[in-house]
Amino acid sequence: MEVVDFGQFRLIRVLLLCLLTVNPSLSAKAKPSASSAADPDYVSALAAANRFLHAWQTQDHETGLLMLTNTARHHTSEDRLQEFFSPGPATQQAFEISRGRKLKAGRYAFPVALFEIREDQRWIHPRFSQIIVIRTGIDDWAIDKLP
């Protein structure tokens, strides 16, 4: 006759119970919420923000300036624009665009993080800001506020 170790049997039961309760939650697919749906205007505004920040990243002054609204140009000094599009030498730049929000029809705000690193730096701290994108025509979007 074999002796059964009830302590070991209890441990196995507890482990099986844990696996059965945890596993369904891991394998279940979460349904996207209604707030995660994006309208066509949101996508167009996000694309414009991405194009503008890519111009910043590649130091493409012309593209960046063409994407600014008259309001943004008038509220930003020439020195500030020059500084924004012309970082120091040997600088590597990158950006992150977070989920934006609709401010009103044809106007969106996107939180952004701008990263700039020079050869002599080991660590960097991102500069957090936001970019405002507005509809200026049927399929035209422009930057109304620099980050």
Residue 32 lies in a domain: no
pLDDT at 97 over 50: yes
Against a cut of 0.75, is the pTM above it? no
pLDDT digits (tens, 9 = 90+) for 8-26: 656 566 555 555 555 555 4
Number of domains in the chain: 1
* Residue-number span of the structural domain to which 86 is assigned: 38-145
CATH number at residue 96: 3.10.450.50
Q: Which residues contact 2 (CB under 8 A, 6 or more apart)?
A: none
pLDDT, tens only, 47-82: 999 999 999 999 899 999 999 999 999 999 988 888
pLDDT score, position 81 = 86
The percentage of the chain sitting over the pLDDT mark of 90, rounded to a whole number, equals: 48
Note whether residue 83 is domain-resident: yes
Residue 77 inside a domain? The answer is yes
